[in-house]
């Protein structure tokens, strides 16, 4: 399977992307303070078909993140049905993460992929109210990986959408450390009440388990929660994985339009997922109920741009 490796030649940091597996960036090795830090968790041989696109690397979730209940929703008076995800009663994670993308731009330190519903998944075109284009540009500079996202509505009707990523951050950050040495931090003050991973529409303050505001150890902590009320200093929210023993930390930063953060500890890997979403799970069904779920629409012919940055730095 074809892969693309980009690098900052001045320092040696590099990232590898698999366009044929959802344009998944499944490796990012940051060079920082004379050390190579492997940041992203993916099964060995991912580029050759091992593992699952939803269980490795950085899955891209669009036109909706997480679940749509029973794969059904109503939009503009019309009922839609989506194929259910294997082994689930719901449809998960959008249309892009397990399909081939097209590479539309490449330089030594960057690569851009494009996915258009009508072109790259025509079998799903009737499952969404209109066509869409999503462009993702990965670039490496210093010890940082930047993901620039552009969403375009090429159709004649409004595009309903939500966006998220599902990065699997490898633990620990240093060879002499353990998962138990690591701390995770996120400025979330509330969380959605869930029933079988689907929001009921109710909110509550974060619990002792989900309170990550001051940093929390992952030792004995199992998480699959949708956090919200993310409070930023300025216009940027930061989530942090720190490894004090290694003297390193990984910082993921994104703008405040990302309202929700799913935190997940996968049972199949020494990793933690810290997933920024522009809306809550099943937002397309919650918003019509009068619940502020973050669901968005993009007018015909317009574009929307955002960015997520992952960097490694000394603790």
Q: Which CATH number do you get for residue 16? A: 2.70.98.10
Q: Which two tokens stand for residue 169?
A: 């951050």
Q: What's the confidence (pLDDT) of residue 78?
A: 96
Q: What's the confidence (pLDDT) of residue 1?
A: 66
* Rounded CA separation 206/191 (Å): 6
DSSP 8-state symbol, 118: H
Taking alpha carbons only, the member of 233, 234, 226, 239 closest to residue 278 is 226
How many structural domains is the chain composed of? 1
Domain that holds residue 176: 4-314
pLDDT (tens place) for every residue of the chain, 315 residues total: 699 999 999 999 999 999 999 999 999 999 998 999 999 999 999 999 999 999 999 999 999 999 999 999 999 999 999 998 877 899 999 999 999 999 999 999 999 999 999 999 999 999 999 999 999 999 999 999 999 999 999 999 999 999 999 999 999 999 999 999 999 999 999 999 999 999 999 999 999 999 999 999 998 899 999 999 999 988 999 999 999 999 999 999 999 999 999 999 999 999 999 999 999 999 999 999 999 999 999 999 999 999 999 999 998
* Rounded CA separation 171/178 (Å): 7
* Rounded CA separation 239/51 (Å): 26
Taking alpha carbons only, the member of 212, 315, 268 closest to residue 41 is 268
β-partners of residue 252 are 239, 310
Q: From start to end of 172-268, where are the E strands?
A: 183-185, 188-195, 198-205, 216-217, 224-230, 236-243, 248-255, 260-264
pTM higher than the cut 0.95: yes
Q: What's the confidence (pLDDT) of residue 103?
A: 98
């Amino acid at each position: 399977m074809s892969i693309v490796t980009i690098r900052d030649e001045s320092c040696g940091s590099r990232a590898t992307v698999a366009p044929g597996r959802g344009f998944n960036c499944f490796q990012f090795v940051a060079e920082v303070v004379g050390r190579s830090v492997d940041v992203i968790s993916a099964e060995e041989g991912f580029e050759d078909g091992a593992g699952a696109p939803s269980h490795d690397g950085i899955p891209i979730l669009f036109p909706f993140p997480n679940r749509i209940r029973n794969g059904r929703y109503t939009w503009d008076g019309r009922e839609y049905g989506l194929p259910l995800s294997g082994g689930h009663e719901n449809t998960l994670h959008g249309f892009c993460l397990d399909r081939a993308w097209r590479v539309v731009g490449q330089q030594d330190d960057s690569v851009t992929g494009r996915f258009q519903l009508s072109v790259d998944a025509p079998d799903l075109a009737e499952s969404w109210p209109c066509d869409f284009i999503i462009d993702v540009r990965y670039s490496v500079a210093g010890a940082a990986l930047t993901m620039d996202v552009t969403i375009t509505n090429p159709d004649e009707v409004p595009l309903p959408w939500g966006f998220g990523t599902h990065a699997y951050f490898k633990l620990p950050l240093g060879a002499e450390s353990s998962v138990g040495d690591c701390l995770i931090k996120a400025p979330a003050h509330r969380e959605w009440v869930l029933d079988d991973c689907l929001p009921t529409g109710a909110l509550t303050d974060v619990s002792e388990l989900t309170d990550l505001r001051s940093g929390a150890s992952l030792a004995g902590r199992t998480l699959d929660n949708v956090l919200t009320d993310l409070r930023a200093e300025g216009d940027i929210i930061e989530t942090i994985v720190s490894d004090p023993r290694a003297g390193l930390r990984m910082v993921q930063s994104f703008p405040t339009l990302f309202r929700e953060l799913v935190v997940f500890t996968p049972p199949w890997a020494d990793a933690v997922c810290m997933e920024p979403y522009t809306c809550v799970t099943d937002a397309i069904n919650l918003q019509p109920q009068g619940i502020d779920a973050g669901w968005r629409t993009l007018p015909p012919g317009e574009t929307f741009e955002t960015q997520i940055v992952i960097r490694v730095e000394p603790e």
